[in-house]
Amino acid sequence: DAGVIQSPRHEVTEMGQEVTLRCKPISGHNSLFWYRQTMMRGLELLIYFNNNVPIDDSGMPEDRFSAKMPNASFSTLKIQPSEPRDSAVYFCASSPQRYEQYFGPGTRLTVT
């Protein structure tokens, strides 16, 4: 298996622009997680899905952030409009209904 796939790996955008991050989980995994990593706060859970249904989005910072999982093999995290403080590494992870989560390589987002 190729593991969790994320795209793009790097994204540089200007403040105010829309950003869409993409994730393909490991086939057969029931749960999908979006995290944000910053120096100050470490790894923060933004939202997670179980069987394509959002279960907990309490970590989503504000209404500018939204996530979807239209099917078992694809999820998006969208930021609109983006701000410089959104600059971070965003990770997607999937889990086969156990605690061990498998992470993608991350997307490094820079908002100027």
Partner 1 sequence: DQQVKQNSPSLSVQEGRISILNCDYTNSMFDYFLWYKKYPAEGPTFLISISSIKDKNEDGRFTVFLNKSAKHLSLHIVPSQPGDSAVYFCAAVFGNEKLTFGTGTRLTIIP
Per-residue binder mask for partner 1 (CB under 8 A), 21-60, x = binder: ----------x-x-x-----xxxxx--x-x----xx----
Q: Which is nearer to partner 1, 81 or 105 (CB)?
A: 105
User: CA 49, CA 94: separation in Å to the nearest integer?
Assistant: 9
Tell which positions 60-79 bind partner 1, by CB under 8 A: none
Confirm or reject binding of residue 91 to partner 1 (CB under 8 A).
yes
Confirm or reject binding of residue 104 to partner 1 (CB under 8 A).
yes
Q: Which amino acid is at 89?
A: V
CB neighbourhood size of 73 (10 A)? 15
Phi/psi region, residue 106 (left: phi>0; alpha: psi -120 to 50; beta: rest), is: left
Q: What is the DSSP track for 53-72? A: EEEE-TT--STTEEEEEEET
Binding site for partner 1 (CB under 8 A): 4, 31, 33, 35, 41-45, 48, 50, 55-56, 91, 93, 95, 97-106
